[in-house]
Structure 1
Amino acid sequence: KRGGMMGNIYSMGLALQVQGGRRGRSGPAPRHRSRRFPPPPQALGSTAMFYAPREWDCAQAFSVVYGHDYRQPMAIAQVLPALVGKSYLEAASLECAASSEVSPSLQSLKPCPVEVQKARIRVRYSIINTLRGKHFNESISVGVPAGSTLLQVLQAAEKKEPDIFSFRTEQTSWGPMVVSIHGLAADPEDRTYWQFLSGKDALQEGGRHGAGGAGRQGVKDPPSHPRPSIAGVGTYVPVDGERIRAVFSTY
């Protein structure tokens, strides 16, 4: 569905690994060829009860993965085995070392330090809670250097108005996760979390928009995780004039 997307961009790695289970391939298929995998093994659950035995054409799914700019180590680790056609253990033995040879004409050149003034952008940032306790809807416009991450935008907003835009993060394997804003903390018991959106779209890694609430970067985790997390503020890169909303939500 949705042009080859299975779940969201962060669940694609695991989904492709499941589809490629016991396929017996010795290496990755060329990018221009269609990938067809046999049905997953029966041990993976009751899949066979719902789907007739057939080959799965994963060309669209691989196109989605090829076209995404993965930056988070966990996302890369999950998608790599499917891309190279190996298991986790086999993928660990790949030779990825690049040649250390340097062109003789470049060896004598010394880099000249040049101070480049980065252009600045403005981002509109809002925090919204209509779910619990005293409701609030606060907005601020902050200026940051172009290329700044969403985390840096949050830090700039907190520096400008700490009484309103204070926030707290926790480090996860997916990167920093926002767990509290304006003193209002996410609570797994209540199934609440802070969801980040640009317009109506959930944010995704590397500065891309998701599909209306199904991405990671401030939205729900893949089904294998116990609760959604806001992992992606450390990699999402807003553009000039973008409007980012942090909405206290349930899952």
Structure 2
Amino acid sequence: DDIEKSLRNNELVVGRLALYILALKSSCHDLESVHLTHNEMESLLIHLKKEMEEEKQNIAFGHRPKTSYYQYSLGILALCVSGVRVSTHVSQKLIHAVEHRQLKHGESSCVDSHAVAGMALQCLKDEGIAVKDNAELDRALATIKQRLLDSKRADGHMGNEFSTGLAVQALMAMGSQMEECGSKQTYHNPMAISQVLPALHQRTYLHLKSQECRSENEVLPSHGQVSLQVEVVKSSGASSVFLHVPRGSSLFEALNLLQDKQTGFTFNTEDSLWGPFLSVVNEERALQKNDRRYWHISSVGNSLTQGIKDYKIDLSQKITVKNTGY
């Protein structure tokens, strides 16, 4: 809503739009299917590319972007990790800014801007996206790397507490080996957290390029298998099936795996605010409000206190699904 409001006021939203795109990509959304409300024919990526062209013109005539080089760098980064070609004229403006020390806040070098610029330019290099001069790109990356290293304080932070996460990400993206470390700083702001968490896990925004996305129904890989017995108690009697599932699978994933194996087990769910719940098992419905019935689920005799998507199967066990009245 904030982005849409700014667009209605003819304001540039390069940085916010780039961050929104990065967030959507990290959540495995199909970016081509996400459109702006005010123009449903234009995807977020297309609009960002248009705004980057406008910013390029602002730099050409006003010698700086209308927003900032931090936002300009975010725009290049978001386009690059999303697999969108970045114009050589757009990338050249950032390379030129690095070489001529234009990434600064007042008279001080801006660590945040250098960090995002480093990741953006490294992404272009990694993806083989054409730039005006490859040697110039390498010099810009080397310059950014050195400036980030020079920003390190005695307490280990780079720039300040809130720029360190981005700086560490950038250095890792540019090939520096960073020691694994914890942070004594407490962060409450979502923006700060989103910058620090990847660094703490030895990852960077560039990992979004190769992120593996899975469907909700796909069983995640895990270490080892556990045996599972699923007993279904219908009004006509009980039956059991057995299978092995990856350790750590959710009950929902296990039931899907069981159904896919064509063992004679079938189920359907209905959605609720607390997640999906069983409605039909082996062609018997137990979700009739008038009959006041439901599928009661227990593990080794103990009622589950979590939903089927939240309950994890870490040990071999027997799950009982019983048509129950209340």
TM-score (norm: length of structure 1): 0.43
Greater Rg over alpha carbons, structure: 2
- The structure with more strand, counted as a fraction of residues: 1
- The structure with more helix, counted as a fraction of residues: 2
